[in-house]
Amino acid sequence: MAVTEYQPRGAEGMILHGLVRDHLETFLRDAAERTDGTGVPHFVEKELREFLTCGVLARGFARVRCGDCAYERLVPFSCKGRGFCPSCGGRRMTEQAAHLVDEVLPRVPVRQWVLTMPHRLRYLLAWNHRLCRAVLAVYVRAILGHYRRRARRRGLEGAQGGAVTVIQRFGGGLNLNVHFHTLVLDGVFTETEGGSLEFHPAAPPTDADVARLLATVCRRVRRLLARRGLDGGGAGEALPDPLTEESPALAGISSASVQGRVALGPRAGARVLQIGREPNAPWVTSRGPCQAHLEGFDLHANVAVRADDRQGLERLCRYVLRPPVAQDRLELTADGRVLVILTPRPRINLVLYHGVLAPHARWRGRVVAHAGAEAGASAQADAAALDRVEGSPDPAPEAGIGARREPADAAERPGPNGVSQPRRWTWANLMRRAFDLDVLACPRCGGRMSLIATIDDPRVIRKILSHLGLPTEVPQPRPFRPPPAPRDL
C-alpha cells in the first residue's frame, strides 16, 4: 500500500488559530470586567496563549535532512496543550489508542458503555475532579457488578472484569458536557486450578439489562450527592458552588455552556446558534437498542468490538480519546469563546483503569495484552531520532550556538534488564500508524530523512528563518476591541 507524502501544517492559516488570535484579548478583558478584575484562572489563559505558538516556526523547530540529496525540512514544535489544540490532541489520541491496543486491552471482546448526566451534574463534575471520580466509581462498580452477577449465575466463582474509562468534557457543539466513555471487557476472567486465567465472554446486554443498570446508577449517584450535601434537598436552598468563589468568570461560562447558551458579549444568555439545526427545536434523545434514559441520565451500550478486530478496537479507542475540536468542522461563524471550558485543570487524569486493568490489580500483569510489544519496539528504532520533533524543546545547552544533535537512540533507553523500553511513541511512527504518512520519506528523491538538530535559541531561529524568507516572530493576539453593536439574530 502506497504511503501518502507528508505536508507540514501551517498553524497560522488555520481557522481556530485565527479565532483565538483575533478574540483572546477581547475575551480576557470582558471576563475580567464582569468579575471585578478576577477574570479566568491562570491555567486557562496560559493554555490559550501557548496555543498561539503551536506549530509556529518562530518558537523553535527541528531540522530534518535527507542523507541522499541533502533536502531539508523544518518541523515546528508543538504546544502540548491538553484542552483543545487539534494537533496536540490528535497526537495524544493516537498515542494513547496505540498504547491501549498494544499494551493494555487483552484480545477479548470489548463493549463501549456511555453514561451522560443531567445538566446540573455536568456543571458540578466539570471542575470538581474528586466528585467526578466518585460518580465514575459508582457507575463502574454497577457495570462490573452486572458482569459478576451474570457470571455467578453460570457457576463462575471469583470472576473479575475490567474496564478503561475516558472522561470527555465536550459535546458535539463544543459545549461543556462531562460524560463517561467506558470500554469494558465484555465478559469476565476466572483463575483455573492450574493457576492460569480463562476468559468467559458475556452475552450481549438486553434493553431491560441497560434500563435496570441505569436505574441503579441513578439511585446510587443521587445518594452520593445527598451524602455530600449536593442534592438540593431543601426548598429554595442554594447549593454550594466552590467554583463561583474560585473563579466567577469560569463558573458563569461553564454554566452557560452546559445549557448551550452564550456567556459573554451582546448575545449573552441567548442560545448558541448551530448551523443546520433549528435553535428552538426541542432536544430529542435517541431511543435505540441497548439505550435507556431516566431523569436526565442516559446509558448506551450498543457498540461492541470482536476479540479478533484489533483495528476496529483501535478506531474505537481513537473515537473515545478524540480531541474536542476538528479543524475540518470549523467555519468562520464558530464562537471561539467556548474553548475556555474545554481546558481541564492541570495534572488531572482523564483516562482511568478499573477492575483487573487497575494499576495495582492482582491479575493485571497476566491480563494485559503484549502481542504488539515486540513489533512496536522494533518500529521505534526506525524513527528514534525524530522522537522530539513536534515536541517542546529541552532546556538550551550551556555551550554551543543553539543547534544540537540528538543521539541516534534518543527514543530507546535500555531498561534494567537491558531491553530497550521506549518512553513514548515517536512522532514518525504515530503519523504512519494513524494517517499512513511517511514523514521520513524525502519528497525530492524518495530517500530517508533523519533529524540533524533541534533549534530553540531565538538568535539562531531568527537567522535561519530570515535566510529562508519566513516570519521570524510568534503571532501575537489582536489588541482588545470593543464589542460590536447588537444585531438582531
Grid cell locating 10: 501551517
Question: How high is the pLDDT of residue 339?
Answer: 52
198 φ/ψ angles, rounded to the nearest 5 degrees? -125, 135
Q: How many CA atoms lie within 13 A of 37 on its CB side?
A: 0
The string of DSSP letters for 309-339 reads: -HHHHHHHHHHHH--S--GGG--TT--GGGG
The string of pLDDT tens digits covering residues 104-123 is 999 999 999 999 999 888 87
Give the confidence band of 485 by pLDDT, cuts at 50, 70, 90: low
Longest dimension (CA), the chain: 77
d(CA 176, CA 179): 10
d(CA 175, CA 399): 48
Residue 289 identity (one-letter amino acid): P
- By C-alpha distance, which of 22, 89, 16 is closest to 478? 22
Grid cell locating 93: 489520541
Q: What is the mean pLDDT of residues 66-85?
A: 84
Question: How high is the pLDDT of residue 143?
Answer: 97
Q: Of 206-215, 248-257, 317-326, 416-425, give the lowest mean pLDDT range.
A: 416-425
Q: Of 74-83, 213-222, 414-423, give the lowest mean pLDDT range.
A: 414-423
Answer with the residue of higher pLDDT: 196 or 338.
Answer: 196
3-state secondary structure string, 96-114? Answer: HHHHHHHHHCCCCCEEEEE
Task: For Cα atoms 175, 348, 363, give the angle at the middle one, nearest 5 degrees.
Answer: 115
d(CA 185, CA 199): 10
Q: What is the mean pLDDT of residues 43-69?
A: 86
8: CB partners within 8 A, 6+ apart: 73, 74, 75, 76
Mean pLDDT of all residues belonging to the chain: 74
Q: Of 165-169, 208-212, 273-277, give the lowest mean pLDDT range.
A: 273-277
Burial of 59 (0-12, 13-18, 19+ CB in 10 A): buried
d(CA 96, CA 104): 10
Question: How high is the pLDDT of residue 148?
Answer: 96
Question: How high is the pLDDT of residue 156?
Answer: 94
The string of pLDDT tens digits covering residues 287-318 is 578 999 998 899 999 999 999 999 999 999 99
Question: How high is the pLDDT of residue 382?
Answer: 39
Grid cell locating 97: 489508542
Q: How many CA atoms lie within 13 A of 310 on its CB side?
A: 14
Answer with the residue of higher pLDDT: 248 or 57.
Answer: 57
Residue 258 identity (one-letter amino acid): V
- The SS3 call for residue 188 is strand
Grid cell locating 57: 516556526
Q: Quick count: other Cβ atoms within 10 Å of Cβ 486?
A: 9
Q: What is the mean pLDDT of residues 45-53?
A: 83
* 326 has a pLDDT exceeding 70: no
d(CA 336, CA 317): 27
What residues are paired with 200 via a beta bridge? 188
Question: How high is the pLDDT of residue 50?
Answer: 85
The string of pLDDT tens digits covering residues 87-110 is 787 888 888 899 999 999 999 999
The string of pLDDT tens digits covering residues 77-87 is 887 777 677 77
DSSP 8-state code for residue 236 = T
The string of pLDDT tens digits covering residues 137-194 is 999 999 999 999 999 999 999 999 999 999 988 765 556 788 999 999 999 999 988 8
The string of pLDDT tens digits covering residues 333-373 is 444 444 555 556 666 778 999 999 999 999 998 998 544 44
Is the distance from CB of 144 to CB of 163 less than 8 angstroms? yes
